[in-house]
Amino acid sequence: MTKTAWVFPGQGSQAIGMGVDFQENPVAKHKFELAEKILGWSVLDICQGDETNLSHTLYTQPCLYVVESIIADLLLEKTTAPQLVAGHSLGEYVALYISGVFDFESGLRLVKKRSELMSKAAGGKMAALMKFDRSQLENLIDANPDVVLANDNSSGQVVISGTPEAVEQVLAEVNAKRKVELNVSGAFHSPLMAEASGQFQSVLEGVTFNDAKIPVLSNVEPSPATKGAELKQRLAQQMTGSVKWREIMEQLSQQEITETIEVGPGKVLTGLLKRACKGMELGTIGTMEALDKLGNG
């Protein structure tokens, strides 16, 4: 029996032209119009504009949320709902939306505030490490209170976050095949986001979280949950907490998921899943053409 999960990518998966092929679809058109009223700018214009602009946190996060939500809605029209959902960082908001925890507009207002706060964050640094010595890295992080493991993406890929000095110190000492400093404004998913997270809580508290119709694996706590209050508490910790994507992938296997579909632009999560979940059937739906093929298959 096929058991399916849908996963939603976060910042870094954005691409010029994403979502544009959906603009004539009635469902998509309505959501693009709703989004423009809430945001005060056009998602389609940003997605067809300058790459530097689209890559700015202020625009990236709302654009990804809107485009991924549209694709997920259209996918639900063509197939049955998945048994589990999860999203990487920003993608968790789409997972919560499609599972019925909040409506599209409420989710977008949260993402709008999140993107504003995160784009203003300053004084931090993030860096990605590929093919590294995990035990050595964990020891270095344990010895330095100003750096944390922000994204545990897979056994061979992580992102560290913290003060510039602390991140640079770890980069200088850790053994890794590749070390890449990320072009971000702040130390996302670290305690340095505490002030922004505090400001975000007041907005989060004003949004009603329903119980989920589909169990959600959260970034900070990768176990299936459906209770609205629990999912809200988990999301409240996300801005300062680590993205435990490696554990989410392990959980997919433990929950006997046989097929995972990445819903959104790119194949970043699919690449991670391919290496971590051997034998799992993987698919990506990021374009109208991919959706149409699904309908004709």
pLDDT at residue 67, as a whole number: 98
Q: Are residues 24 and 104 in the same domain?
A: yes
For residue 179, name the pLDDT band (cuts at 50, 70, 90): very high
In DSSP terms, 4 is beta-bridged to 259
What is the pLDDT averaged over residues 121-150? 95
What is the pLDDT averaged over residues 187-196? 94
Q: Which residues have C-beta within 8 Å of that of residue 278, sequence separation ≥ 6?
A: none
Q: Domain containing 80 — which CATH number? A: 3.40.366.10
Q: Are residues 196 and 280 in the same domain?
A: yes
What is the pLDDT averaged over residues 6-25? 96
As annotated, the active-site residues are 89, 189
What is the pLDDT averaged over residues 53-78? 96
pTM above 0.75, yes or no: yes
| Per-residue pLDDT reduced to its tens digit, 80-108 | 999 999 999 999 999 999 999 999 999 99
The number of C-alpha atoms within 13 Å of 135 and in the hemisphere containing its C-beta is 0
120 pLDDT more than 70: yes
Q: Are residues 140 and 275 in the same domain?
A: no
3 pLDDT more than 80: yes
Q: Domain containing 158 — which CATH number? A: 3.30.70.250
For residue 252, name the pLDDT band (cuts at 50, 70, 90): very high
184 pLDDT more than 90: no
- Domain holding 61, by residue range, is 4-121+190-296
Domain-ending residue, one of 136, 151, 181: 181
Q: Which residue has the higher pLDDT, 167 or 1?
A: 167
> CA separation (Å) from 159 to 13, 110, 131, 173, 217?
15, 24, 12, 15, 20
* Nearest-angstrom CA–CA distance, 247 and 288: 31
Q: Are residues 77 and 220 in the same domain?
A: yes
Number of domains the chain is built from: 2
Among candidate residues 239, 83, 112, the one with its CA nearest the CA of residue 104: 112
* Nearest-angstrom CA–CA distance, 159 and 124: 13
Q: Are residues 146 and 166 in the same domain?
A: yes
Query: Residue 41, SS3?
Result: coil
pLDDT at residue 123, as a whole number: 86
DSSP string across 106-123: HHHHHHHHHHHHHHH--S
Helix then strand then coil, % of the chain, to nearest 5? 50, 15, 35
| Per-residue pLDDT reduced to its tens digit, 218-251 | 999 999 999 999 999 999 999 999 999 999 999 9
DSSP string across 169-180: HHHHHS-EEEEE
Domain-ending residue, one of 141, 158, 181: 181
For residue 121, name the pLDDT band (cuts at 50, 70, 90): confident
Q: What angle do CA 52, 71, 183 make, to 5 degrees?
A: 25
For residue 259, name the pLDDT band (cuts at 50, 70, 90): very high
pLDDT at residue 295, as a whole number: 61
pLDDT at residue 212, as a whole number: 98
